[in-house]
A and B are shown apart, each in its own frame.
Chain A
Amino acid sequence: MCSGLPRSNQLTSLRRLDAAPGNRTICSGAACVPEALFVFVLGVAVLTLWTKRPLVEGLPAAESAPAGLLLVAFPLTFAVRLHGLGEQGPRLLLFCAGELLGCGRHGGLFCGPCGGQAPVCPTSEPEENMEGAAASFVGSLLVGLAFTIDG
């Protein structure tokens, strides 16, 4: 689907970029992310307009489906791109997973309830507190430090 034109400003140019300014990357012919998203939008339009589902149900569905794809699925798919970045790819993927989940999330999850006193937003997130956020931040720093020491 990519026509062979220079696409240095698009998502497909993430891999093996040369640091020299002015160099341009060519996608070699496989399908690209914008085309997949375009197919998805076409399908949502068809499902919304040409099915027997009433619009009062179809419009919220047409709102929820792109939100799920863009907020949940699309960021996760970049893990594949990270893993494919040569020798450093798996390390980068482990770093991101360790930062986001290993310490960022679980640091707050376990340290917050143990001694947290200052709530962040009691109305919407009653179990979150400032001590958990601080533990999450420190945990993320520790993961970054560990990757720095490891080389």
Chain B
Amino acid sequence: MTWTRVATAAVLIPFVVGLVVWGSTGWVALALALVVVLALFEYFSLGDAIGHRAYRFWTATCALLLVYVQWLTAIEPTYQLAAA
């Protein structure tokens, strides 16, 4: 189990660091959307074990919507009004 984690980290860490350093915010958002969906379904599988069947499809859809909204907020310009 531990060595599986080590091997996964050894493969994924260079990929993630490269993506974060050299990738655009859009690519980071795409990769993060995949991670968010996987994490959500892992969480829902834990809930299934105690009989809580959540609204998987709707929650995953809204999670993707949140990632999209955060990406829009990250790339859109914001403006400042100076105080009087």
Residues on A close to B: CB < 8 A? Answer: 6, 11-16, 18, 20-33, 35-37, 39-40, 43-44, 47, 57, 60-65, 68-69, 71-74, 76-81, 83-85, 89-90, 93-94, 97, 102, 106, 109-110, 113
CA distance A57 to B71 in the complex (A): 34
CA distance A60 to B16 in the complex (A): 36
Q: A31-B69, A62-B55 given. 19 additional CB < 8 A pairs?
A: A12-B73, A18-B80, A22-B84, A23-B82, A25-B80, A26-B80, A27-B73, A30-B73, A37-B62, A57-B53, A65-B55, A65-B59, A68-B43, A68-B59, A69-B59, A69-B62, A79-B28, A93-B20, A97-B20
* A109 and B55 within 8 A (CB): no
Q: How many residues in B have their beta carbons less than 8 Å from beta carbons of A?
A: 47
CA distance A25 to B53 in the complex (A): 41
Residues on B close to A: CB < 8 A? Answer: 2, 5, 9, 13, 16-17, 20-21, 25, 28-29, 32, 35-36, 39-40, 43-44, 47, 51-55, 58-59, 62-63, 65-67, 69-84
* Chain A interface SS verdict (over half): helix
CA distance A81 to B29 in the complex (A): 9
CA distance A29 to B76 in the complex (A): 9
**Are A43 and B66 also in contact (CB < 8 A) when A33-B73, A68-B40, A72-B43 are?**
no
* B52 and A60 within 8 A (CB): yes
* B25 and A80 within 8 A (CB): yes
Task: Point out the residues of chain A lying under 8 angstroms from B13, CB to CB.
Answer: 102
* B28 and A83 within 8 A (CB): yes
Chain A's closest residue to B9 (CB) is A106
**Are A20 and B83 also in contact (CB < 8 A) when A27-B78, A44-B58, A64-B47 are?**
yes
CA distance A107 to B4 in the complex (A): 16
